[in-house]
A and B are shown apart, each in its own frame.
Chain A
Amino acid sequence: MSGASPSSFQSELTTYIPNLRAFANSLTRRPDLADDLVQEVLIKAFQNMSQFTPGSNMKAWLFMILRNTYFSHLRKRRFEIEDADGVHADKLAVPEAQTSHMDMLDFNVALSKLPPDQREALLLIGAEGFSYEEAASMCGCAVGTMKSRVNRARTRLAELLRLQDETLVEEISR
Chain B
Amino acid sequence: MIDESDKSKGTQSASSQDKPPAAPHAPPLTSAAQDLIGRKLRETYSNKLNEPVPDKFNKLLEQLAKKG
Contacts and interface: CB of A to CB of B under 8 A. Distances in A.
A163 to B, nearest CB: 4
Contacts of A149: 8
Interface string B12-56: 100110011011001101101111111011111110111101101
A125 to B, nearest CB: 10
Contacts, number: 138
B1 to A, nearest CB: 5
A11 to B, nearest CB: 9
A173 B3 contact: no
Interface of B is mostly: helix
A60 to B, nearest CB: 15
Given A17-B57, A46-B68, A170-B32, A102 B12 contact: no
The residue among B35, B38, B57, B58 with the most chain A CB atoms within 10 A of its own CB is B57
A152 B9 CA distance: 12
Given A155-B29, A156-B15, 4 more contacts: A42-B61, A102-B40, A114-B15, A155-B26
Interface of B: 1, 3, 5-6, 8, 11-12, 15-16, 19-20, 22-23, 26-27, 29-30, 32-38, 40-46, 48-51, 53-54, 56-58, 60-61, 64-65, 67-68
